[in-house]
Structure 1
């Protein structure tokens, strides 16, 4: 097994983000959508810990609610990708032949597309909204999970202990569930941890371009776009969503390298 000494740091940063997203809006009960133009671009104070934006909305409240939004979409996309990647890899390994070749060729074709560009173009055509963003991010990302699952699974299916299970009469589903999936899952979780950071960046990019979700939903990319022209008047307010994005991307990058994995020859 491979382990990394950075595991406590990755777990700590990720756990802090999860707690902030889950309980932050419950503890800091300021309405993120409440506008007060008389309080526009106010510096951090006791009433507004990170100040207010150009419409007088509380920045900390919007950052916390934006964390929920980004985390919810990212988790949904990862779950869809894990499920589809494992399922298609199992089908390809079980049936082989033309089905396996067809799935590999299709995944290669999708993987070759510029994912973020496709997402931006389709989001502009289909409109914003959480469901559209989840669908588009899943559409361009699932081949990674399928290719990794298939690469690991194909190696394991040729291993001695799997061949012994086949000779003993174990079904393909049993072998996949008990001998292949436990080895495959840590690699998929590591990929998922890295992918969450990319998904958060993609969500922020769509919000920054104004094709993600519609106001007044709090979203980090949209916050950055709204506040960037006021960076001299409100540097703290602009830095808050930027640092939130850096925080979660860095935390999950460290965490992904800390997940213990069994050694599998992928060459």
Structure 2
């Protein structure tokens, strides 16, 4: 699994260079040492950081850590992101979707914007439609409605990052590493901007990271998950969530989502 992931990681970083005109030999020469480096790092993390026998004891305070981290992300990102960038960050894609859900003409000569296509997934557009039109129904202005749409993205990403902090704490059992992860996610300026950007990528990437960490948790603690599964406990719900999200939930919020989830599985 580690070899496959390392190869996939190195190829994901080098194949775009080949598609942009770089030579195949130079791309392969870069991909091989990069894959080896990723594999070595993963092996060291698995050997010296994960402690399967102690992970279960670390889960008792996990809910409080998740809640604290998620609330902290929401508070900081609202103050540093949404407030100064009000009503949020909107690209051409975002504006076209807002036009789409508000009934305004959005077609153009560019193939990406001519229809409701794979570039604008139906599930994501429908989610924006519900939030935006509900705000308009309650009498909010267009700017306020757009800001609430941006806050919805911030809220989902905050929950996902809170889950990441919790899983890092449970898997590594290193308070310093947990604090570093929390501080990085909280204060990274790019993530602050990203949290209030109305893109499908915000929702998908957060859910994708959570999905990946759940897979790592199952890999590191298979006996605990198997025991819970036999009793119909947490693992039964987690495995069901993994299967559902991989098949038809998370993938609906990003084009090529099925390929990405199947790859990491």
Same fold (TM > 0.5): no
Pick the structure with greater CA Rg.
1
TM range (shorter): under 0.3
| Structure with the larger RCO, 1 or 2 (CA within 8 Å, 6+ apart) | 1
- Tell me the TM-score normalised to structure 1 length: 0.27
- Tell me the TM-score normalised to structure 2 length: 0.27
